[in-house]
C-alpha cells in the first residue's frame, strides 16, 4: 500500500462527511485530499493541524472539515510516516 492509499484509508475511516466510501460513495471519495496530504507527508515527514485545515479550506471551503476529530486524524496521519 502506498502512502497515498494509506492516507486515503485514514480519511475514509474518519469519513468526516458521512459519505460511507465503498458503500454509498466511491471507495476513493477522499482521493484528491489524500493525494495532497500524502505530498505534504512526503516532503515534510509530518502534517501540522494548520496544514490539515488548509487542505479542508482548499477542497471544501471549510478548515474545520474534521471538526472534533482534527487532532486525532492528524496524529493518525503522522503515524503513517
| Contact assessment for residue 55 and residue 36, using Cβ atoms and an 8 Å cutoff | yes
2-54: per-residue pLDDT in tens?
A: 789 999 999 999 999 999 999 999 999 999 999 999 999 999 999 999 999 99
Three-state SS at 50: helix
Amino acid at each position: 500500500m502506498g502512502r497515498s492509499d494509506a492516507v486515503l484509508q485514514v480519511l475514509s475511516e474518519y469519513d468526516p462527511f458521512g459519505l460511507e466510501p465503498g458503500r454509498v460513495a466511491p471507495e476513493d471519495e477522499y482521493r484528491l485530499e489524500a493525494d495532497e496530504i500524502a505530498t505534504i507527508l512526503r516532503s515534510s515527514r509530518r502534517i501540522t493541524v494548520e496544514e490539515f485545515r488548509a487542505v479542508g479550506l482548499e477542497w471544501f471551503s471549510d478548515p474545520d472539515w474534521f471538526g472534533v476529530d482534527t487532532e486525532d486524524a492528524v496524529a493518525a496521519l503522522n503515524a503513517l510516516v
